[in-house]
Amino acid sequence: MYGANLSYKLLLQYLDEILKAGLLLREGKSSYWITDRGKKFLEIYEDYERTRKKLDEHVKSLEIGEDALREMLIS
């Protein structure tokens, strides 16, 4: 809660959504276990993040190339 800078109220809302989605199981009052569905979600999300970062880097390199071409035309 503190590491994610969440209020207790917001944490409860997120936990409720995650539980409803079947990504976690609750055991008792304070124990949570990740489900197979939750593990699959994390795998897909990590793959998405890697791909997004690669695309961001590619777009930046294209923008640098565009700027260089623009400078050549102006000069």
What's this model's pTM, rounded to 2 decimal places?
0.73
State which residues form the domain around 8.
1-34
State the sign of the Cα–Cα–Cα–Cα dihedral 13, 14, 15, 16: positive
Query: Do 29 and 42 fall within a single domain?
Result: no
- CA 39, CA 60: separation in Å to the nearest integer? 32
Please check whether residues 30 and 42 belong to one and the same domain: no
- Condensed to tens digits (0 to 9), the pLDDT of residues 11-61 reads 999 999 999 999 999 999 889 999 999 999 999 999 999 999 999 999 999
| Tally of domains within the chain | 2
Same domain for 27 and 63, yes or no, is no
Residue-level pLDDT at 22: 98
Instruction: Indicate if 46 and 61 belong to the same structural domain.
Output: yes
> Do residues 4 and 16 both lie within one domain?
yes
Cα gap 73→65, rounded to integer Å: 12
